[in-house]
Every structure is written in structure tokens, then in C-alpha cells.
Amino acid sequence: MQLFDFIQLVAKKIDLVNFLILRGVLPETINCEKCGNELYIDKETLLFRCRKRYFSSNAKKKRIRKQCDFHKSCKVGSWFSNSNLEIDKICKIVACFLMLRPPRQEFLEEELGVSSHTVVDWFSFCREVCAYWTDKQSEKLGGPGRTVEIDEAKIGHRKYNRGRLVKGNWIFGGFERESKKVFIMPVEDRSEKTLLACIKQWIMPGTTIISDCWKSYNCLNSEGFQHLTVNHTYNFVDPDTGKKF
């Protein structure tokens, strides 16, 4: 699905909810937490509401007819939990993160009427999911004739805090150009000792490694790798705002 196809889908709330249910992002049914009755989502209000009628007895053993009053938002426990933002806006932010080239942040702020803080947080959540998926797909890369790009990044605001990647403040990863394979792992710091150990663990000797000019990578040519660098000081473009530094 292309970006504009998805934007058209998001324009109709019922169609969007059906799309999210079909892909397991939202639940279609739950059991009432009070009486166990099966509840179906109200696709307009996005609520599960129980109206089951039953009889109970009071102290005088008089039968009294009652109605269950349980209700719960379908957002609870989902990707949309703990957010007051409408699900269509959240979906637009995620779609732009996945399918729109930079600059994105200022565009979303203007188009959706949301704050910079909101966009930054949701982009961080999206990156967390990408990092979690990459962690599960990690494998050893490289070898003679292969090129691997490496980089490190500091983990920001997280939504789920799950998996081993939350153990360190930094994550380190690589991408093999030829095969599109990846690896990612948490690291305690960006020292030469730490990063070199990771590189030897995940990248095979003889690989051409491309990195930025961080000093910890200066040893790679003497460690069995061909090392090329990119200097981000010149003509660096922020991936979200499109601003050059």
C-alpha cells in the first residue's frame, strides 16, 4: 500500500478501524471483566460496553434486575494506549515515518495540528519497534567483497521498554548493502574497546566497513577490515526536519 492510498483509508473511520482489526492492531472482541460476556467493539466510539442484564438478590432475598455497566476503550493495551491523540492522526504519523522521505516533522506539525513534542515521541516509538524487529533478525554480516555500514545511536523516549535493547543507553548496529541483512545490539558506551568487540562479534574479517568519523573506529584498518568514513559535519541533513547542519 502506498502513502496516498493509506491516507484515503484513514479518511473513513470505519474503514480504518476494520483495517486495524484485520491486522491485529486493535481487538474486535473482548470478554467483560465483570460478567464474562463477549463484547464487540463499537467502531464509532472505539469502546467495548457491556449492557448484559441479570438478577441478583438483596438481604431480603428479593430478586433485583440489574445491568452490567462495564466499559473499556479498545486503545487500552494496544499501540494506541496512553495517548489522547486520535487514532487516525497516530496512523498518519506512522505512515509518514514509514513511507515519506524527509523533511517530515514540520510537515506533520502543520498538517495535523500537533506539537513538535508529539511528533518526536511517536517517531521515537516507531524507531523502538524497528529496533525491536531488527534485534530479532540480527545475524553475522560481511566478508570479503561485502560492505557493511555501521552506526551507533542513543535510545530516546520509549513506549514499551521491552527486550534486551533497553539494558544500555546506546545501541550499535550494522547494515550489509549487498544482502540487506542487519544486526543491532545494546552497548554501555561508545569506547573503542566496546565497539571493536561488537564489530568482531558481528562482522566477518575482510569486510569493507563504512562509518562516521568517530575516533573509536580509527583502529579498524589494523584489525582486518577496510575502513571508509563519511564526515557528517559537512552537509548533514536531519532525517526528520530536513534542516542542514
**Domain positions in the chain:** 3-84, 90-129, 135-229
Q: How high is the pLDDT of residue 213?
A: 92
Q: Is the whole model's pTM more than 0.85, yes or no?
A: no
In 3D, which of 235, 223, 202 has the Cα closest to residue 135? Answer: 202
* Amino acid, single-letter form, for residue 1: M
- Give the pLDDT mean for 186-203: 94
Question: What DSSP string describes 143-199?
Answer: -TT-EEEEEEEE----SS--SGGGGSSEEEEEEETTT--EEEEEES---HHHHHHHH
Q: Residue 99 above 50 pLDDT?
A: yes
| pLDDT tens readout for residues 233-244 | 554 445 555 554
Cα–Cα distance, 225 to 199 (Å, whole number): 10
Per the CB < 8 A criterion, the answer to whether 30 and 48 are in contact is yes
The secondary element (H helix, E strand) that includes residue 107 is helix 105-112
Write the pLDDT tens digit of every residue in 39-90: 999 999 999 999 998 877 666 667 778 899 999 999 999 999 989 999 999 9
Averaged pLDDT for residues 5-21: 92
CB hemisphere CA count around 100 (13 angstroms): 22
Top-confidence residue, 204 or 102: 204
In 3-state terms the chain splits into helix, strand, coil percentages (rounded to 5) of: 35, 25, 40
**Cis, bond preceding 103 (omega within 30 deg of 0):** yes
The whole-number pLDDT of residue 235 equals 47
Q: Which CATH number fits domain 135-229: 3.40.50.620, 3.40.50.800, 3.30.420.10, 1.10.3860.10?
A: 3.30.420.10
Residue 166 has pLDDT above 60, yes or no: no
